[in-house]
Amino acid sequence: MTIAIASDHGGYALRQHLRTLLEAEGQELVDMGCASEEPVDYPPYAFRVAEAVAGGEADVGILICGTGIGMSLCANRVPGVRAAVVGDTYSARMSREHNDANVLCLGGRTLGPDLAAEIVRVWLATPFSGGERHRRRLAMVAQREGGGTPCCPSSNG
């Protein structure tokens, strides 16, 4: 599995920590920046990773900024990307199992390194369930993404 990873300055330290752990575990990483803790704008880094995932250059992506929110806002603008801000292992598992998230967004200023590492491990290890209701919901998202008609909530949960 190829993992594209990037951060802004607020996520730089956590990205370095996670890179070290993931490389030690044998994961294939493509680091897309940033180069230091000097302030930078997060959108270019988010778009690089999101476009790499959407274009098939990476299987999944990990984005880190101060909270993960800015990165997710940008990444979710790229068609085919399902980015989730995650702060616990349960949400990590559900974002993959139910939502088939392909980009994980983390907060470098909101998560400790040990919890972040555990979130990443759970997220990477969890497959999409493929359940009919989850596929149906993802199809609604994809329809909206492609400029189709807006999705309407269903009555069956």
Instruction: Give me the active site residues, please.
Output: 65, 98
Q: Please, which residues have CB within 8 angstroms of residue 76's CB and are 6 or more apart in sequence? A: 50, 82, 83
Residue type (1 letter), 40: V
Helix (H) or strand (E) holding 85: strand 83-85
Q: Is 129 helix (H, G, I), strand (E, B) or coil?
A: coil
* Cβ atoms of residues 47 and 81 within 8 Å: no
Residue type (1 letter), 139: A
Query: Strand 60-65's sheet: what is its strand order?
Result: 28-31, 2-7, 60-65, 103-107, 83-85
